[in-house]
Structure 1
Amino acid sequence: MVGQGRTNSGIAVLLCLVAGLVLLSCAPLAPVSQATPPAATATAAPSPSAAPLQPTASPTALPATATKDGRDIRLAADGNGDYPDLMQALAAAQDGATITLGAGTYTLAKSYTISRSLTLAGAGVGKTIVSSEVGPAVLSVRGNVTFRASGISFQHLGDTPSDVVQVSGATVDIRGCSFEGGALQGDEGKLGNGLTLTNARGSVQDCEVAQNGLNGILLLGNSSVTLEGNRCHNNGENGIAYLGTSAGTARHNQCIANDLHGIIVKESAHPTLESNNCSENTQCGIAYFGKGAGIARNNECSGNKVDGIGILGEAKPSLEGNTLNDNGDSGLAYWDSAAGTAGGNRCSGNLGQGIYITDNAQPLLQNNDCQGEAVVDRGQVAEATATAGPATAGPAKIAFDSDRGGNYEIIVANPDGSGVVNLTNDPSEDGGASWSPDRTHLAFSSKRDGNWEIYTMKADGSDVRRLTDDPANDVYPAWSPDGKRIAFHSDRDGYWNVWLMNPDGSGLVNLTRAKSDNAYAAWAPDGSQLVFVSRRDGNDELYVINADGSGIKRLTNNDANDTFPAWSPDGKYIAFASDRTGKFQIYVMPAGGGQERRVLADSADDRQPTWSPDSQSIAFASDAAGDWDIYTYLVFGGAEGKEPIPITSGARNNVSPAWSR
């Protein structure tokens, strides 16, 4: 029921039915082509090309940060510098020292660990060479220090398992260097990388990373490093690999001719990949595995032997504006239970499909240009000859709220309960979601910033944006059918009233302007009216109002409480909950008012109806099994005598369903 003025109990009731569900996985259908999903690891030890790295122009030297006494050291390859060799210079260097290395080769007899801030400045790639035949690395940098390097070729020689350079916990500024010869430690080994960054920060720019047995650049832990302008090619597995929870940005890199993927994102990594050239790799240009996420935009993924971009496992990246041409199978392929969004991507000349989606995958697609190539969705050809690609955001979903993780989160699932995804993953309370008409975004309420406010996010849970910012409480958004306005209710004027705003939070208007409580607005499908709940005549009843605030009309009139209205997409009916039998039950009436019919006569408490896109069924929250769960029920077309179908179950609460249109 709607609360009185600014009361905590009002908010508790407003969100008392915010909860979620557990989804089942669908059995996969056989693919329609001979496609094979990309591999996460190589099947055999790599055979790197023996072609030498070509020298590059000497980069701008990094600034010296030291003076003398072990802080400004100059070395010559013939031993005529301040110290006879690099090993002694490294041992003598003080914190913050700069070691300038002239042209030539500096060989380390053993792996050296740097544990203080240091700058190494060489004469250029191919001119100044630091090498070693031992492992586990030519150089290791460890601790909360800053490591700078420029103009140096770091090389590992021989077959001893080793990375070339390892960095752990440090901040890096590496420019114009090369990393070559990482030696693989068996088929499942972890060594063999050119540059390994663990829990690192900083940047790596304009480097050549090639002919390593495993990955060119490997990011582990919570590393967040900017990778820019690097050439990562001819490595035994991947050009760049993100694992753990690593993030950061990779832009303008060339990740080509690697024995597995150009860039791989695994585990829970979530980098931003933009404007990279990931072409001519043995499998995919970009590949996502595990729960990999993040954004890939404006990348060129062409001429790969399998897919331009492959998404597997439970990965859910956002793909925007990528060019996916002339690949050996599909331009874009979703496998397993992969999800995420794909919009504005271009696919042409691929030997398989423009976009390929296996049975359990649930991506949201919009405005991709497939240049006449097939879009195969769960075994069915969705677009055989379209030049504009599918202008859709995937099949209809049901969003709802669940406390299965201890606090309320927003979950999305298929109408049969499968394909469950937690979108919010936030320690605060989230609830009351509403879909945008194109299914690409949701508006929702959250306490993540202290009190209840309205936010939006993309349909994969990314790009969360706050719309309202007021000491009062703003809850239960409802997106207009044309996508241009969002209704919500707020107690910012001392009473609960229905407000309107633009999708960016601007243009606030108090629609109901009453000194009584008004809430739970739902739009008519043509956007001309809203139905809402008001207590202006004593108890909770349903009213309609024009979208400009005029023409208020009462629809229900009885001693009970009528609430949670939902307008059917065909415009004919309004479903709502009423406690006129003693418990809340679901009713349906003509949109203009009139005879009210109870949809389901049971002994449970049933609330919060939401219509299916075809206006034939509803989803609703019920305590029929003890805890609150989400059910679907066929209202029209032979529903009499049939039982509601639960799409959630378990010992947690699942409420506030919202069916996308």
Structure 2
Amino acid sequence: MAARPRLNSCSTPHAEGLAPMNASRFHTVGQALSVFCVAWSAQLAVAANPGQVASTASPAAGPHGDLIYTSLRTGSSQIFRIDADGARETRLTQSQHSELQPVWSRQGRIAFVSTRSGGGDIYTMDAQGGDLRQLTSRPGLEQSVAWSADGQHLAYIGETDGRAELRLIKADGTGDRLIAADMAEVGSPAWSPDGTKIAFNANVNGKLRVFVFDLVSGAITPAAEGKGGEFGPVWSPDGRSLVFVHSGSRTEGVNLRKVQLGSQTSVALTKDGYTNSQPQFSPDGSKLLFLSNASSQGSTMNVHVMNADGTGVVNLTRWEHADMGASWSDDGRYVYFMSFRDWPGQIYRIGADGQGLQRLTKSASQEGFPVGRPAATTVAAAARNP
């Protein structure tokens, strides 16, 4: 097989939602997750041979299951939407700038990061690309946007004088405020299902740890016992536990750990000495989707699924080239992911049982980081207005 071109590398795993970190202290993350950096940098690059833009006739809002993703086919990173079966595709952003990190709200609105106004600000739009609203206009880069379950607030990482900060803003762009003012290396904000808490990672006293901010009391408490090298928290659908990534020693690898809220005692879900990252609970909470290079003995990353207790690990994609950016369908029956098996990266769908692989995008340029539209479930408890 002919060798494929290599993308330029980067030093910070932004695709994990992390603020810049000291590479010497987190060498395992920096080295093992470099593939995520590479793909993230590619979103900012101009495609060498952009393909023709597919038809963008705007259909009515599709059913739950629509995907949003970024594409380099027009020469800059733009946001597209495609039906879950790949039947219809719509270009949502129409700028000459970089449009990145799109994420659905449960109500069907899309937040994203755009460079159209400078270094990088947060915008929102509807599912057809209309009703565009600019929420932030701060200097520096805003990124890692996360919606509250009721769609009324967004958490994000803002930059002030080169320092990453956890911030909160209302969906209408008002009430922007700073959270966790004295913490460094802040990243990966994640809302609890009931909208009353935000989990995130931050460096305190030289250790990268996962914390929980309570919007009701204003308290910030550690989520786990504090092994250090903790990042990328995700909530279980019932809001009772968190799963996060732990970067250990070179022999320990990068693994997933789970902690019950309030216990601060985490348990290992993976412990194979390789890289296991980007966990996502299935909609019903019974499974965990994640990326791992354990099956390839430390080589390429593939998409895996396992039971929520860490048992029953299955490699869904088993391919010699990297698979990444995995996302559940709203009913948990399918997994969407980006794969480099068709250079320079296309989007695929596969059954949660590993059957029925289908290529959804068919351009000559990079299509990446698919995000499945979540089901519009009832919010258990609305967050107080911060």
TM-score (norm 1): 0.38
Q: 1:137-176 alignment to 2 at 5 Å? A: none
- For 1:612 and 1:418, the matched residues in 2 are separated by 24
The answer (yes or no) to whether the contact 1:577–1:606 under 8 Å persists in 2 is yes
Q: 1:60-99 alignment to 2 at 5 Å? A: none
- What letter is aligned with 2:211? Y
Matched, 1:573 2:337: no
The answer (yes or no) to whether the contact 1:621–1:628 under 8 Å persists in 2 is no
- CA deviation after TM superposition for structure 1 residue 398, in Å: 5.4
- For 1:427 and 1:604, the matched residues in 2 are separated by 39
The answer (yes or no) to whether the contact 2:165–2:178 under 8 Å persists in 1 is yes
Residue in 2 aligned with 1:660? 374
Moved more, 595-604 or 489-498: 595-604
Alignment CA distance shift 1:630-1:640 (3 Å): closer
Could you tell me the percent identity over the aligned residues? Answer: 24
Residue in 2 aligned with 1:291? 55
Moved more, 583-592 or 406-415: 406-415
- What letter is aligned with 1:556? A
Q: 1:392-403 alignment to 2 at 5 Å? A: 394-397=63-66, 399=68, 401=70
Q: 1:3-402 alignment to 2 at 5 Å? A: 3=20, 16=37, 18=40, 291-293=55-57, 316-317=58-59, 340-341=60-61, 363=62, 394-397=63-66, 399=68, 401=70
- For 2:139 and 2:66, the matched residues in 1 are separated by 33
Matched, 1:610 2:324: no
- What letter is aligned with 2:230? D
Q: 1:577-588 alignment to 2 at 5 Å? A: 577-580=245-248, 582=250, 583-588=253-258
Matched, 1:635 2:307: yes
Alignment CA distance shift 1:407-1:616 (3 Å): farther
Matched, 1:518 2:190: no
- For 1:447 and 1:627, the matched residues in 2 are separated by 34
The answer (yes or no) to whether the contact 1:604–1:623 under 8 Å persists in 2 is yes
Alignment CA distance shift 1:539-1:608 (3 Å): same
The answer (yes or no) to whether the contact 1:18–1:431 under 8 Å persists in 2 is no
The CA deviation string for residues 588-645 of structure 1, in whole angstroms up to 9 with x for no partner, is: 3323344434444566544333333222334445568899878352433995142244
Alignment CA distance shift 1:555-1:419 (3 Å): farther
The CA deviation string for residues 373-429 of structure 1, in whole angstroms up to 9 with x for no partner, is: xxxxxxxxxxxxxxxxxxxxx224555556677654445567788877664465433
- What letter is aligned with 2:224? T
Residue in 1 aligned with 2:159? 491
Q: Bigger radius of gyration, 1 or 2?
A: 1
- What letter is aligned with 2:55? K
Matched, 1:478 2:146: yes
- CA deviation after TM superposition for structure 1 residue 570, in Å: 1.8
- For 1:499 and 1:612, the matched residues in 2 are separated by 27
Q: What is the root-mean-square deviation in Å for CA atoms of aligned residues?
A: 4.0
Q: 1:534-573 alignment to 2 at 5 Å? A: 534-548=202-216, 550-573=218-241
Does the residue aligned with 2:200 lie in a helix, a strand or coil? strand
Residue in 1 aligned with 2:338? 648
Which residue, out of 98, 104, 113, partners 1:429?
98
The answer (yes or no) to whether the contact 1:20–1:401 under 8 Å persists in 2 is no
- What letter is aligned with 2:177? V
- CA deviation after TM superposition for structure 1 residue 562, in Å: 1.2
The answer (yes or no) to whether the contact 1:474–1:489 under 8 Å persists in 2 is yes
Does the residue aligned with 1:510 lie in a helix, a strand or coil? strand
Residue in 2 aligned with 1:255? none
- What letter is aligned with 1:586? L
Residue in 1 aligned with 2:12? none
- What letter is aligned with 1:588? K
- For 2:311 and 2:85, the matched residues in 1 are separated by 17
Does the residue aligned with 2:256 lie in a helix, a strand or coil? strand
The answer (yes or no) to whether the contact 2:338–2:370 under 8 Å persists in 1 is no
Alignment CA distance shift 1:609-1:642 (3 Å): closer
Does the residue aligned with 1:517 lie in a helix, a strand or coil? strand
The CA deviation string for residues 454-499 of structure 1, in whole angstroms up to 9 with x for no partner, is: 1112223344322111222211111111111111111236532211
The answer (yes or no) to whether the contact 1:402–1:655 under 8 Å persists in 2 is no
The CA deviation string for residues 21-65 of structure 1, in whole angstroms up to 9 with x for no partner, is: 9xxxxxxxxxxxxxxxxxxxxxxxxxxxxxxxxxxxxxxxxxxxx
Does the residue aligned with 2:155 lie in a helix, a strand or coil? strand
- What letter is aligned with 2:200? F
Matched, 1:457 2:125: yes
The answer (yes or no) to whether the contact 1:451–1:471 under 8 Å persists in 2 is yes
- For 2:315 and 2:137, the matched residues in 1 are separated by 43
Count, aligned residues: 291
- For 1:607 and 1:401, the matched residues in 2 are separated by 21
TM-score (norm 2): 0.62
- For 2:90 and 2:270, the matched residues in 1 are separated by 29
The CA deviation string for residues 267-320 of structure 1, in whole angstroms up to 9 with x for no partner, is: 99xxxxxxxxxxxxxxxxxxxxx8353xxxxxxxxxxxxxxxxxxxxxx33xxx
Question: Structure 1: any 5+ residue segments left out of the alignment?
Answer: 6-12, 22-266, 269-289, 294-315, 318-339, 342-362, 364-393
The answer (yes or no) to whether the contact 2:288–2:308 under 8 Å persists in 1 is no
Residue in 1 aligned with 2:19? 2
- CA deviation after TM superposition for structure 1 residue 448, in Å: 2.6
The structure, 1 or 2, with the larger RCO (C-alpha pairs under 8 Å, 6+ apart) is 2
